[in-house]
């Protein structure tokens, strides 16, 4: 989804903590998402990293600022960026997903709206109905084939990101985690999309419509 949105130049859509920015470019943006005119700059306007402290997802906002204010685009590297999140319970995973969906809906609305359509269950439902109507392919057969291929693709991605040279074995832990993730994606999305309060490092914040975060009262 992220690659497609960036390739089609619909909107800035990046994964946080895995980006490289030129400091000279960051020093020219401020998160207003308004094009910068070097000949008409307000002296009171603050630029650079300090101006992004008001955002919870400052890395994503920097990417949006570069996109809209300087009219530059993102490119995907072949390097793998690992993000260590430590031990995470199912509840931790749930609230982490809720937090970032609520943040993204005010920062990258187009990507957030499209997100459910990239999930395996939604895709399987729509595609099975389509191919059955167009080609008469049985819906059950298509759905079963779809989920097997989807699972194998996710397993291949996991193996590639793990950095291990030997094939990744399919164990019951991976299968269980994969099933839980796929089954929870839509309930988490709909729960998150209708709220605006998140918990970050033990404190509650309210996400404002401009993407900024304010302490919840």
| Residue positions annotated with a catalytic role | 59
Chain-centroid distance of CA 89 in Å reads 20
Q: What is residue 213's three-state secondary structure?
A: strand
> Measured between alpha carbons, how far is 45 from 51 in angstroms, rounded to an integer?
9
Q: Residue 128, class by beta-carbon neighbours within 10 Å (0-12 exposed, 13-18 middle, 19+ buried)?
A: buried
> Measured between alpha carbons, how far is 160 from 1 in angstroms, rounded to an integer?
18
Instruction: Provide CB contacts within 8 A for 24, sequence distance 6+.
Output: none
């Amino acid at each position: 989804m992220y690659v497609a949105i960036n390739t089609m130049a619909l909107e800035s859509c990046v994964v946080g903590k895995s980006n490289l920015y030129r400091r000279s470019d960051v020093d020219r943006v401020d998160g207003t998402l308004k094009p910068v005119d070097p000949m008409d700059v307000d002296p009171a306007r603050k630029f650079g990293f300090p101006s992004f402290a008001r955002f919870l997802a400052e890395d994503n906002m920097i990417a949006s600022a570069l996109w809209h204010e300087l009219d530059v685009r993102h490119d995907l590297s072949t390097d793998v960026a690992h993000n260590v999140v430590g031990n995470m319970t199912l509840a931790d995973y749930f609230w982490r997903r809720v937090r970032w969906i609520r943040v993204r809906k005010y920062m990258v609305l187009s990507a957030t709206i499209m997100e459910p359509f990239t999930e395996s269950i939604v895709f399987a439902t729509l595609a099975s109905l389509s191919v059955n109507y167009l080609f008469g392919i049985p819906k059950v057969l298509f759905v079963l084939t779809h989920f097997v291929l989807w699972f194998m693709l996710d397993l291949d991605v996991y193996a590639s990101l793990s950095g291990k040279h030997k094939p990744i074995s399919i164990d019951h832990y991976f299968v269980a985690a994969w099933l839980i993730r796929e089954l929870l994606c839509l309930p988490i999305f709909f729960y998150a999309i209708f709220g605006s309060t998140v918990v970050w490092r033990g404190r509650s914040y309210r996400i404002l419509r401009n993407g900024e975060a304010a302490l919840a009262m």
